[in-house]
Amino acid sequence: MPDSESIYLVDGSSYIYRAYHAIKDLTNSKGFPTNAIFGVMKMLLKLLKDKSPQHVLVVFDAKGSNFRHEIYPQYKANRPPIPESLAVQVPIIKELVSALGIPTLEQEGYEADDLIGTFCRYLQEKEFNVIIVSGDKDLKQLLAPKVSMWDPMRDTYTTWKDLKAQTGLEPRQLVDVMALSGDPVDNIPGVPSVGEKTALKLIQEHGSLEKVYEALGEMRGKLREKLANYKEQAFLSRELVRIKEDVPLALEIPTLKERNQENLLRLLRELEFTTLWKDFAKEEPITAQYHVLTDRDDLIRLRDLILDKGVFAFDIETTSEDPISAEIVGVSMCTEPSLAYYIPIGHRDGSRNVELDTFKSIFGEIYEDSNIRKIGHNIKYDVEVLFQHGINVKGIYFDTMVASYLVNPEHRQHNLAFLSQHYLNSKKILYEEVVGKGKEQKSISQIPAEVVAKYCCEDSDFSLRLKDILYAELKQYNNLELMFDIEVPLIEVLIEMELNGIKIDSILFRDLSHQFEVRLSNLTEEIYKEAGMEFNINSPQQLSFVLFEKLKLPGLKKTSKTKAFSTNVKVLKQLASGAHRLPELLLEYRTLMKLKSTYLDSLVNLVNPKTGRVHTSFNQAVTATGRLSSSNPNLQNIPVRGETGREIRKGFIAEEGHVFLSADYSQIELRIFAHYSGDSGFIEAFNSGEDVHSKTAMEILGVKDPSQVTPDMRRIAKAINFGIIYGMGAQKLSEELGIDLKLAKSYIERYYERYPGVLDYRKRMIEKAQKDGYVTTLFNRRRYLPNIKSDNKGLQSEAERAAINTPIQGTAADLIKKAMILVRHRLKRESLNAKMLLQVHDELLFEVPEEELSSTIDVVKEEMEGVYQLSIPLKVDIGIGKNWDEAHA
């Protein structure tokens, strides 16, 4: 029940500081600090939930000096200025408090404590119970029979009786205790050398500050001397610590008001407090008009409407996440906000359906008309589904998932539910709310059309609404070219690649799986022998016991959860360089086990029965740098080096009469690095065609002649070259190369001496990130770095490494995306039948008819090398083979 007899007075300023220092490194994706805001919100929500108060007031300190500074100019002089990262949060906190409907108060010339004191006196006269919401011990002086304190962060109560029981004093006597002991935090002097215990004892014995000084003659030693010498200071301190109870205020009963829901949700979504937003959000009232269409005349009218508009958003509900095997259940289309139409096609619950052929005959022309612009969320999937059902979609215009990713890749998610919340302040119906969860989940085809219609129409409606908002943000950040020249055209390329798939040699994979099984069995026996016991090799706890307790190998790092020594790959690699053979065997075991389960066993089962090929999915909105990723299955993760990785790549084969063509950018990141840094030594090495790693080895290791550069020297130089790109420090380099830290430092120092442009680039990027909060690629792709100014040095160092690396890796990603678009267009223009199959980092893999190989090589090489004019040339290495390993070799 609401507490109508009590009034809660919240010490807002105190909680702001407590939250700020208690919660570390919390920001939104653009780097705006949110730790204090989040802490204060959680405290206030606990108050509202636990107490359901009708009367509550949040009180803040006013800016500037107050009456205590007039009494004692040094008051709070020791306090540092408010940190900038806290100062920017205070206005948002006040706005949130108001949005919650909670009255607020601050008064120039006074502190929050004085306002609380004044209200306490007033409210007691009105016979209210007063609860001071604070953890500040200074406020205990206000305790009274009808005044108590509650600290929601510790969930502790203190009453007038509690205080008397603990100290034997009345609350007002605490003022005299504090007058003697002082307060170094607020620079209240008190009496030097009189601590809190001594001060408490003196007031307990004598009753008041006046009585202490009346009894001074009875005291002896240093205490008497200190008290006598600092009497004036003690009475001054009492004036400073005493809370005023007569601040001139227009006093009235503070009453909770109605929430400003719109403003509250706006603030929560901007702060990216997703869970809090969901707690407050209610499903939007059904103001949108969503219609189920099944009559032919209605369908024709919708088609004509779309033809007239020239643009529409659409969404498809299907029976599977796999677009190749998915059957269409229904399609929604939207031409204006809050008005959408659902066409049921494959419902199996008794709902009336439209025949698929009828749908295609009416709407096929608008989907295949490139002049009619299509909008969707993850539109790639919907287009692939339609292609499988005989509709070749053209005119892809806007994808809200991709646009959101471009606006801010640091967002934790880009799904439609999140975007609807973040941009539209709307709570979207979730898929599981339609079909159920777990064992109770049904196929969406079993759900009535009227129910699915609302869900599906929301998807197309919200996509249409989001388009304008995201377009405006892209324009604001100068990202329209990136969107419409690279990311949107790339969607069509990825659709073709995913539908193309790649052929695998299932027999070879099964044979390899058997071979790996034998090797794993032999390895298991060797591991048991080296360990001197049998144990579960896949159990980190048991492995930790064997390595660090039984064999007494040096434990390097403890896990945060179990506090046992870690057995991760990094640890095993470091241990493998020691005397014991077991860590090396474990690394080999893990590699084989992962390759067997992830590729050899699963890929055979992933061959699509319709096509006889494996179809991966390329993700545009996952990595922070702009690189594509691959999933279901991940074909970008197969090891390039090592015999096991090569054996697996042999299982990816070209169709009869075709060959694989591998086109791999040579050292593209180093070339971009040279371009960015402008370092003359780097640029000269690439322009002259020198081996840049050999040149670096000569510069760093003092070798005069290229012929004297050994493979090991080149390995060291290569590690340094790439390490610098990734912001590697001396510690990491020493670990990477297995060398002394001092030697690693000397290598890096010499590197910067020889390549001063590189050091200048590092400084430039870090300064830019600190100034703007983000870095960009050559094509203005942004990456926000919220931790670039973090107090946590580890997080700050990580952000600095990202500031150095992102422009390089992100530009490489942009260049290969541009190249994919250009190559596809050129192949079509010249009527060549090569199929682009895979993109793996800096490599493109094609399946080419043997008779078109020469022409295709020319096209691919010309377009990839000419994609963009850097200050040094781009170079592409070409490989040919009947399988992926041969082509890559």
Which tens digit of pLDDT belongs to each residue from 716-745? 888 888 887 777 788 888 877 878 888 888
Residue that has been written with the tokens 């958003």 in this structure? 313
DSSP-derived 3-state class of residue 510: helix
**Looking at the predicted structure, is the pLDDT value of residue 177 above 60?**
yes
Considering only CA atoms, which of 490, 775, 740, 503 is closest in space to residue 625? Answer: 775
- 408-413: long-range pairs with CB below 8 Å, 24+: 408/29, 408/30, 408/782, 408/784, 409/621, 409/623, 409/624, 409/625, 409/626, 409/781, 409/782, 409/783, 409/784, 410/29, 410/30, 410/624, 410/783, 410/784, 410/786, 411/29, 411/272, 412/29, 412/272, 412/274
**Looking at the predicted structure, is the pLDDT value of residue 498 above 50?**
yes
In the chain, where the domains are located: 1-166+250-278, 169-243, 282-477, 504-614, 680-754
- Is residue 408 within 8 A of residue 418, CB to CB? The reply is no
**What burial class does residue 654 get, using C-beta atoms within 10 Å of its C-beta: 0-12 exposed, 13-18 middle, 19+ buried?**
buried
pLDDT range class, residue 194, cuts 50, 70, 90: confident
Considering only CA atoms, which of 771, 775, 795 is closest in space to residue 35? Answer: 795
Residues composing the chain: 889
Query: Distance between CA 709 and CA 438 in Å, rounded?
Result: 61
pLDDT range class, residue 812, cuts 50, 70, 90: very high
- Greater model confidence, 203 or 366: 366
**What burial class does residue 586 get, using C-beta atoms within 10 Å of its C-beta: 0-12 exposed, 13-18 middle, 19+ buried?**
buried
Query: Distance between CA 348 and CA 389 in Å, rounded?
Result: 19
Considering only CA atoms, which of 456, 384, 417, 405 is closest in space to residue 616? Answer: 384
pTM for this prediction: 0.81
Q: Which amino acid, residue 810?
A: G
Backbone dihedral angles phi then psi of residue 246, each to the nearest 5 degrees:
-135, 35
**Looking at the predicted structure, is the pLDDT value of residue 2 above 50?**
no
β-sheet bridge partners, residue 565: 558
Residue that has been written with the tokens 């939250």 in this structure? 19
Q: What class does CATH assign to 504-614? A: mainly alpha
Query: Distance between CA 183 and CA 186 in Å, rounded?
Result: 6
pLDDT range class, residue 45, cuts 50, 70, 90: very high
**Looking at the predicted structure, is the pLDDT value of residue 445 above 50?**
yes
- Is residue 286 within 8 A of residue 426, CB to CB? The reply is no
- Is residue 676 within 8 A of residue 808, CB to CB? The reply is yes
* Mean pLDDT for the stretch of residues 825-833: 97
DSSP-derived 3-state class of residue 669: helix
Query: Distance between CA 523 and CA 588 in Å, rounded?
Result: 8
* Mean pLDDT for the stretch of residues 783-802: 87
DSSP 29: T
What pLDDT, on the 0 to 100 scale, is given for residue 386? 98
Q: How many CB atoms lie within 10 A of CB 422?
A: 23
Q: What share of the chain is helix, strand, coil (3-state, %, to 5)?
A: 55, 15, 35
What pLDDT, on the 0 to 100 scale, is given for residue 1? 36
Tokens of 745: 């430092």
* Mean pLDDT for the stretch of residues 602-610: 90
**What burial class does residue 503 get, using C-beta atoms within 10 Å of its C-beta: 0-12 exposed, 13-18 middle, 19+ buried?**
buried
Q: State the sign of the Cα–Cα–Cα–Cα dihedral 365, 370, 373, 379.
A: positive
Query: Distance between CA 617 and CA 807 in Å, rounded?
Result: 25
Phi/psi region, residue 769 (left: phi>0; alpha: psi -120 to 50; beta: rest), is alpha
**Looking at the predicted structure, is the pLDDT value of residue 443 above 50?**
yes
β-sheet bridge partners, residue 840: 843
**Looking at the predicted structure, is the pLDDT value of residue 471 above 60?**
yes
Tokens of 202: 């003196």
What pLDDT, on the 0 to 100 scale, is given for residue 4? 57
**Looking at the predicted structure, is the pLDDT value of residue 854 above 50?**
yes
Tokens of 181: 């002991």
What pLDDT, on the 0 to 100 scale, is given for residue 561? 53
Query: Distance between CA 770 and CA 234 in Å, rounded?
Result: 47
**Looking at the predicted structure, is the pLDDT value of residue 89 above 80?**
yes
Percent of the chain's residues with pLDDT above 90: 51
CA atoms within 13 A on the CB side of 498: 29
The DSSP line for 472-501 is: HHHHHTT-HHIIIIIIHHHHHHHHHHHHH-
What pLDDT, on the 0 to 100 scale, is given for residue 582? 87
The DSSP line for 233-255 is: HHHHHHHHHSPPS----------
- Is residue 460 within 8 A of residue 398, CB to CB? The reply is no
The superfamily (CATH) of domain 1-166+250-278 is: 5'-nuclease (3.40.50.1010)
Considering only CA atoms, which of 608, 583, 398 is closest in space to residue 502? Answer: 608
Residue that has been written with the tokens 């229904």 in this structure? 330
Phi/psi region, residue 605 (left: phi>0; alpha: psi -120 to 50; beta: rest), is alpha
Asked if the peptide bond before residue 633 counts as cis, ω within 30 degrees of 0, the response is yes
Considering only CA atoms, which of 154, 165, 180, 323 is closest in space to residue 241? Answer: 180
* Mean pLDDT for the stretch of residues 658-667: 95
Phi/psi region, residue 657 (left: phi>0; alpha: psi -120 to 50; beta: rest), is left
pLDDT range class, residue 559, cuts 50, 70, 90: low
Query: Distance between CA 258 and CA 197 in Å, rounded?
Result: 47
* Mean pLDDT for the stretch of residues 622-647: 87
Considering only CA atoms, which of 128, 136, 113 is closest in space to residue 59? Answer: 113
**Looking at the predicted structure, is the pLDDT value of residue 495 above 80?**
yes
Tokens of 116: 């609380």
pLDDT range class, residue 474, cuts 50, 70, 90: very high
| Fold that domain 282-477 belongs to in CATH | Nucleotidyltransferase; domain 5 (3.30.420)
**169-243 CATH, one of 3.30.950.10, 1.10.150.20, 1.10.1040.10, 3.30.300.30:** 1.10.150.20
Report how far apart the first and last C-alpha atoms of the chain are (Å, whole number): 75
- Is residue 830 within 8 A of residue 855, CB to CB? The reply is yes
* Interval 271-311: pLDDT, tens: 988 888 888 876 555 578 999 999 999 999 999 999 999 99
**Cβ within 8 Å of residue 171, ≥6 positions away:** 140, 141, 142, 143, 144, 160, 163
**What burial class does residue 469 get, using C-beta atoms within 10 Å of its C-beta: 0-12 exposed, 13-18 middle, 19+ buried?**
middle
Q: What's the alpha-carbon Rg for the chain, to the nearest Å?
A: 35
* Mean pLDDT for the stretch of residues 842-857: 97
* Interval 562-577: pLDDT, tens: 556 777 777 777 777 6
DSSP 142: G
* Mean pLDDT for the stretch of residues 533-550: 87
What pLDDT, on the 0 to 100 scale, is given for residue 285? 54
Distances (CA, A) of 685 to 671, 749, 867: 10, 20, 21
The DSSP line for 548-616 is: IIIS-PPP--B-TTT-SBP-SHHHHHHHHTSS-SHHHHHHHHHHHHHHIIIIIIHHHHTS-TTTSSB--
* Mean pLDDT for the stretch of residues 639-657: 87
Tokens of 626: 């702009």
**What burial class does residue 64 get, using C-beta atoms within 10 Å of its C-beta: 0-12 exposed, 13-18 middle, 19+ buried?**
exposed
Percent of the chain's residues with pLDDT above 70: 97
**Looking at the predicted structure, is the pLDDT value of residue 3 above 70?**
no
H or E stretch covering 364: helix 356-367
Mean pLDDT of the chain, nearest integer: 90
Distances (CA, A) of 643 to 338, 639, 640, 649, 650: 58, 9, 9, 10, 11
